[in-house]
Amino acid sequence: MSHQVIEAEQLVLSSRSSVNVVRTSGQFVCRARVAANPWSRAIGLLGRRGLAPANGLLIRPCRSVHTVFMCFSIDVVYLSRDWSIVKLVPNMKPFSLSSGGRAAYLCLELPGGSIERLRLKIGEALVCPKLGQERNGLFFS
């Protein structure tokens, strides 16, 4: 695993880009599509029937999420600028609202049950290794 990681402010701006999210130990958490522009953040997971296991959506910046008009439950992991978990919302049902609080800067949406399956804990740090090519200051993989 690369020792270099993508900082929160450097996340890919292309809505078609995705990144691996791992624990600091190197354990794989998910492959996440990045939503870092207004359009991709607004659309989020709307129109999807679900999330495949080990897939997710990483939203930057993000202090709150909703599941209005969604047809499946998700787990929500709020992360600080340094990728520390500041809040966990397991099994968030459709038509719900959630806030990560002032410390939240990123949000990782995962399939329902992922928080329990991965045993994620508040205070734990996640990382996003640089795995792809660097083009125009943006990271692709």
Strand ranges of the sheet holding 106-111, from the earlier edge strand across to the other edge:
85-92, 74-79, 106-111, 55-59, 28-35, 18-23, 126-127
What is the rounded CA–CA span in Å between residue 1 and residue 69? Answer: 38
Q: CB–CB of 19/11 below 8 Å? A: yes
Residue 134 in this model has a pLDDT that exceeds 60: no
Q: What are phi and psi of 58, to 5 degrees?
A: -105, 115
The two beta strands, 55-59 and 106-111, are: antiparallel
Residue with more model confidence, 40 or 23: 23
What domains are defined for the chain?
8-133 (2.60.120.1140)
Write the pLDDT tens digit of every residue in 66-118.
999 999 999 999 999 999 999 999 999 999 999 999 999 999 999 999 999 99
Burial of 128 (0-12, 13-18, 19+ CB in 10 A): buried
Write the pLDDT tens digit of every residue in 30-67.
999 999 888 888 888 887 888 999 999 999 999 999 99
**Structure pTM?**
0.82
What is the rounded CA–CA span in Å between residue 42 and residue 82? Answer: 24
